């Protein structure tokens, strides 16, 4: 278990291609931290630098109090689970797990015991002498997990470990990973492009875009209090509706916060809309509507409306978010009041 | 049942007929004919073909000359295959990077493969010339002894093997580099995280994952080195004192210089059996060690 620090870390490829610039990040000991962002945002690069698989162009990385910036990957007391599992195809499951322990010169008896333990932990008993090609994707991912656990690392690094699994298995593994984190109490760092995974698994989320951290905080904090339009629209399923005003400012509201009916003490904006599409997601329904503000999304439990229906839409004033011309959130009350007037008149 | 299926599939049989005829005419018939010839005593010209049964086989197996030829062939095979594959593997591991220097070296190593072996042999005859050759020049410059190379029974087979290795190594390197590039980089990253040092990685990761490629090269190299002919023909004609006479060259000599067709055909049957056995043994012994993804 250890706290992790990125201090002013920069990564440049081929001397000109800056992927990460001045990254400063502290990851708490024992946390389940998720780095999330669109592809190419630098999250995987950050993780790989931490693992030692990628050189750091500038800055330092610390695990605990130790500067690991130039340490070999094998000496960092970390374990990594890759998106494509990266288990050795020519070794049996037992050999796959044993390989790292053997290289670490763990005595044979201890090794046998650890292998047995972790295989039981991930539920692969009976598969010890089987080659990976005989296993399903989910089972292979378990082998990768078992291998990681066997090392008893200070830090677990996971690079999109669930994205090659089908949706059902992904949900199941998600729960199992959370349980695993509770059990092991090590620091988990998890990279994903999937905001649902980030929201459901992480106790801290770090949102990245174009090599920069946009916001870091708990899932709830980030959902309720996004600092900029990028975060507001990236988090949430779907993301926040954003509408640009003629003044260049933007206002937004969550799809869950638009309603077809006015509440008793309604204080907010109302506008007409035409139903373009309706997606039934099970208990919830997602509508796409054409309005004077452009296309907006609405999520509700009410499935009575059909395509081409004309509807009235309502959003409470307290559910509106305002952003300045640099797309950053506005907190100033007076400014919000002025902008609200602009919205109402629009 | 079988007949009706025949009927049903007759169009299909019609389509494979040309290939089948070609195979019968150019493979099955010659093999059968060689076996038939091996039972005869015949000089290619005389109309008398005397049937001698298995006499040719008995004579060859007891002939010291033929035993020498077999020994030469085996020595040539073992040494060239062992060296060409192991050196090629080392080169391939080194060349498995994408810089200008590496691709230049790879191209240079591959070039001998596309030159005709006869030209290569001529070139090496000059390099190995005891008086004016480059090799002896270098050797004497390094303070070593001047060797007779192709002119001495002690070094002639070695000289022919050097040429064979030099010729085949580029091809082996090319195939091995392709094999190495098919090993995904994340496997090596995994190994790094598993604290595997370079040697462990090479023997426990690279070699097993390269085994299908190595197995393929092994079969191809063994087969082709048993069939070596051009270099021997051009450089030594099997001499001096039979020291470089290998099986195919011996067959050629016996058949078309000494006109002992029966014996030559028998030698061909032996070659056929040896290559078949070697391939079979390779599959039996090595196939279980080969890991296919």
ipTM > 0.90, yes or no: no
Element (H, E) at A219: helix A219-224
Write down the pLDDT at residue B41: 85
- Taking the Cβ of residue A1 and every Cβ of chain B, the question of whether any pair is shorter than 8 Å is answered with no
**pLDDT tier at B145, thresholds 50, 70, 90:** confident
> Could you give the angle at which helices B156-181 and B100-114 cross, rounded to 10 degrees?
130
pLDDT, tens only, B227-243: 899 889 988 888 788 88
Q: Which residue has the tokens 């796409």?
A: A288
Percent of the residues in chain A that have a pLDDT greater than 90, as a whole number: 71
Q: Rounded CA gap, A256 and A239, in Å? A: 10
Residue that wins the pLDDT comparison between A272 and B284: A272
Whether residue B248 has pLDDT greater than 70: yes
Domain assignments of chain B as residue spans, ordered by start: 56-287
Q: From CA A258, how far away is CA A256, in angstroms rounded?
A: 6
For residue B226, the tally of other CB atoms under 10 A from its CB is: 19
**Structure token digits, residue A49:** 């630098």
Asked if the domains at A4-224 and A238-345 fall in one CATH topology, the answer is no
State how far the Cα of A194 lies from the Cα of A186, in Å rounded to an integer: 23
Instruction: Reduce the DSSP state of residue A145 to 3 states and report it.
Output: helix
Q: What global pTM score does this model have?
A: 0.81
pLDDT value at B207 more than 60 = yes
Question: What stretches of chain B show up as alpha helix (H) in DSSP?
Answer: 2-8, 10-23, 29-37, 55-62, 64-95, 100-114, 117-127, 134-141, 156-181, 185-193, 198-200, 207-226, 230-235, 247-256, 261-286
- Residue B242's pLDDT is 86
Domain regions of chain A by residue span: 4-224, 238-345
C-alpha A197/C-alpha A161 separation (Å) is: 11
B283-293 mean pLDDT = 75
Q: How far apart are CA B102 and CA B97, in angstroms?
A: 7
Question: Does B263 have pLDDT greater than 80?
Answer: yes
Nearest one of A80, A90, A83 to A134, comparing CA atoms: A90
Q: Which of B184, B195, B208 sits opposite A100 (nearest CB)?
A: B195
B205 contact residues in A (CB cutoff 8 A): 88
Contacts of B208 in chain A (CB under 8 A): 90
Res B2 pLDDT > 70: no
Contact B189 A90 (CB under 8 A): no
**What's the confidence (pLDDT) of residue A43?**
92
Averaged pLDDT for residues B79-102: 91
pLDDT of residue A119: 93
pLDDT of residue B3: 62
Fold of A4-224: Rossmann fold (3.40.50)
- In whole angstroms, give the CA distance from residue A122 to residue B158: 58
pLDDT tens digits for range B24-77:
999 999 999 999 999 988 888 888 888 888 888 998 889 999 999 999 999 999
Cα–Cα distance measured from residue A321 to residue A315, given in angstroms and rounded to the nearest whole number: 11
Low-confidence residues of chain A: pLDDT under 50? none
Lowest mean pLDDT among A10-19, B70-79, B202-211, B265-274: A10-19
Q: How far apart are CA A287 and CA A277, in angstroms?
A: 6
Q: Is the C-alpha dihedral spanning A174, A180, A182, A185 positive or negative?
A: negative
pLDDT by residue (tens digit) across A194-250? 999 999 999 999 999 998 999 999 999 999 999 999 999 999 989 999 999 888 899
Query: For residue range A283-294, what is the model confidence (pLDDT) as tens digits?
Result: 899 999 999 889
- pLDDT score of A216: 94
Q: Look-up: residue for tokens 């090319």?
A: B174
CA distances from B215 to A49, B172, B176, B287 (A): 37, 12, 11, 8
- pLDDT for A253 equals 95
**What is residue B4's predicted lDDT score, i.e. its pLDDT?**
66
Bridge partners of B155? none
Distance CA A79, CA A50 (A): 11
Q: Is A77 left (phi over 0), alpha (psi -120 to 50) or beta?
A: left
- Residue whose C-alpha is closest to residue B229's, from B253, B249, B257: B249
Topology at the third CATH level for domain A238-345: OB fold (Dihydrolipoamide Acetyltransferase, E2P) (2.40.50)
Displacement of CA A123 from its chain's centroid (Å)? 26
Interface test with B, best of A71, A74, A135, A145 (most B CBs within 10 A): A74
Q: Do A74 and B195 touch (CB under 8 A)?
A: yes
Residue A19 three-state SS = strand
pLDDT for the residue B279:
87
B141 pLDDT more than 70: yes
Averaged pLDDT of chain A = 91
Residue in A48, A49, A50, A53 to test binding to B, most B beta-carbons within 10 Å? A53
Contact present, B264 and B87 (Cβ < 8 Å): no
pLDDT level of residue B6 (50, 70, 90 thresholds): low
- The confidence band for B106, taking pLDDT boundaries of 50, 70 and 90, is confident
Name the region of A152 (left: φ>0; alpha: ψ -120 to 50; beta: rest).
left
Please give the radius of gyration of chain B, using alpha carbons only, rounded to the nearest integer.
Answer: 24
Query: Average per-residue pLDDT in chain B?
Result: 89
Residue B5 has pLDDT above 80, yes or no: no
> Mind telling me how many Å the CA of B200 is from chain A's nearest CA?
9
Residue B28 CA to residue B173 CA, distance in Å, equals 34
Q: Which B-chain residues 206-225 have CB contacts (< 8 A) with chain A?
A: 208-209, 211
Q: Give the architecture-level CATH label for domain B56-287.
A: Orthogonal Bundle (1.10)
């Amino acid at each position: 278990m250890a706290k992790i620090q990125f201090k002013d870390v920069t990564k440049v490829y081929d001397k000109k291609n800056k992927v990460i610039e001045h990254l400063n990040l502290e990851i708490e000991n024992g946390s389940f931290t998720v780095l999330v962002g669109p592809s190419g945002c630098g999250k995987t690069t950050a993780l790989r630098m931490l693992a030692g698989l990628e050189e750091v162009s500038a800055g330092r990385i610390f695990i605990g109090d130790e500067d690991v910036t130039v340490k070999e990957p094998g000496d960092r007391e970390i374990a990594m689970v890759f998106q494509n599992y990266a288990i050795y195809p020519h070794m049996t499951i037992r050999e796959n797990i044993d390989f790292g322990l053997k290289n670490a010169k763990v005595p044979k008896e201890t090794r046998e015991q650890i292998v047995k333990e972790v295989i039981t932990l991930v539920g692969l008993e009976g598969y010890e002498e089987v080659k990976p090609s005989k296993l399903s994707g989910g089972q292979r991912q378990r082998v990768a997990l078992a291998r990681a656990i066997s090392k008893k690392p200070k830090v677990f690094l996971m690079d999109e470990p669930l994205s090659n699994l089908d949706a059902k298995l992904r949900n199941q593994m998600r729960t199992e990973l959370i349980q695993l984190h509770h059990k092991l109490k090590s620091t988990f760092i998890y990279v994903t492009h999937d905001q649902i995974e980030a929201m459901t698994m992480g106790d801290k989320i770090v949102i990245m875009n174009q090599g920069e951290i946009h916001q870091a905080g708990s899932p709830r904090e980030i959902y309720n209090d996004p600092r900029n339009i990028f975060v507001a629209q990236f988090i949430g399923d779907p993301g926040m509706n954003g509408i640009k005003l003629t003044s260049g400012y933007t206002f937004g509201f969550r799809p869950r916060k638009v309603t077809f009916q006015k509440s008793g003490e309604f204080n907010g904006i109302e506008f007409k809309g035409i139903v373009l599409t309706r997606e039934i997601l099970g208990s919830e329904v997602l509508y796409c509507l054409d309005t004077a503000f452009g296309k907006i999304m609405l999520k509700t439990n009410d499935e009575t409306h059909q395509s081409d229906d004309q509807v009235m839409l309502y959003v409470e004033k307290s559910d509106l978010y305002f952003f300045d011309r640099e797309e950053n959130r506005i907190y100033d009350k007076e400014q919000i009041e002025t902008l609200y007037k602009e919205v109402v008149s629009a | 049942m079988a007949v009706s299926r025949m009927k049903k599939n007759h169009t299909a049989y019609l389509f494979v007929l040309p290939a089948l005829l070609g195979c019968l005419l150019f493979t099955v018939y010659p093999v059968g004919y060689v076996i038939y010839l091996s039972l005869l005593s015949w000089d290619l010209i005389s109309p008398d073909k005397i049937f001698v049964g298995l006499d040719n086989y008995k004579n060859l197996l007891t002939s010291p000359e033929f035993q020498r030829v077999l020994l030469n062939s085996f020595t040539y095979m073992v040494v060239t295959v062992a060296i060409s594959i192991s050196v090629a593997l080392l080169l391939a591991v080194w060349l498995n990077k994408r810089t200008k220097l590496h691709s230049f070296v790879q191209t240079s190593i591959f070039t001998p493969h596309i030159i005709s072996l006869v030209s290569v042999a001529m070139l090496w005859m000059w390099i190995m010339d005891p008086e004016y050759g480059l090799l002896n020049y270098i050797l004497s410059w390094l303070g070593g002894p001047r060797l007779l190379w192709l002119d001495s029974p002690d070094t002639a087979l070695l000289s022919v093997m050097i040429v064979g290795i030099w010729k085949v190594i580029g091809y082996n390197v090319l195939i091995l580099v392709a094999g190495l590039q098919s090993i995904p980089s994340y496997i090596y990253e995994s190994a790094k995280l598993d604290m595997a040092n370079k040697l462990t990685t090479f023997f426990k990761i690279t070699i097993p994952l390269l085994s299908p490629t190595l197995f393929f090269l092994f079969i191809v190299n063994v087969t082709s080195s048993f069939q070596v002919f051009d270099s021997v023909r051009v450089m030594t004609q099997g001499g001096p004192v039979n020291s470089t006479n290998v099986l195919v060259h011996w067959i050629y000599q016996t058949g078309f210089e000494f006109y002992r067709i029966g014996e030559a055909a028998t030698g061909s049957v032996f070659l056929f059996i040896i290559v078949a056995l070697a391939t079979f043994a390779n599959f039996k012994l090595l196939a279980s060690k080969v890991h296919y993804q």
